[in-house]
Amino acid sequence: MELASVRIFVRDLPAAARFYAEVVGLEQVGATPEVALFGANPQIVIEVADAEAFAEGLVGRFTGLSFATQDATALHAALARTGVPTHGAPERQPWGGIFLHADDPSGNTITFLQWPAERGQTPDGTHSISTPTSRSGV
């Protein structure tokens, strides 16, 4: 099996669609008044939250989604210039990658990931890490 789609619930679909297209760099492939669709394999479904989604706390939360970036530091500066809220400066992880957390217009937290220069090894070269077979670029 493979991951087919992920859903992100939002308050304002037009603002979210602009964010995921212009800031994250995803290609929008479809839309309805309640949903914006981005990419494929997996498809990212940006969906207007209804009362049930709000009641379940599905808006304004950590999504667990990471988007690849070549330079987390430069991206952090660009996000700051455009007013996108971040959770501080990029942070190097023990396995060598760098995480930058940012919020979409509905307060959903997404992560930008800068892979280590030598993917497959930690900075000290002693531990291998698994790497995905594909990733989206930012």
pLDDT digits (tens, 9 = 90+) for 6-36: 999 999 999 999 999 999 999 999 999 999 9
Tell me the domain boundaries of the chain: 5-114
- Options 3.40.50.2000, 3.10.180.10, 2.40.110.10, 3.90.70.10; CATH for 5-114 is 3.10.180.10
Q: Tell me the percentage of the chain whose pLDDT exceeds 70.
A: 86
Sign of the CA dihedral with 42 first, then 48, 53, and 59 last: positive
Per-residue model confidence (pLDDT) at position 120 = 53
Query: What 3-state class would DSSP assign to 23?
Result: helix
The pair of structure tokens assigned to 55 is 């009641």
The residues pairing with 10 across neighbouring beta strands, listed in sequence order, are: 48
Residue 118: is its pLDDT beyond 80? no
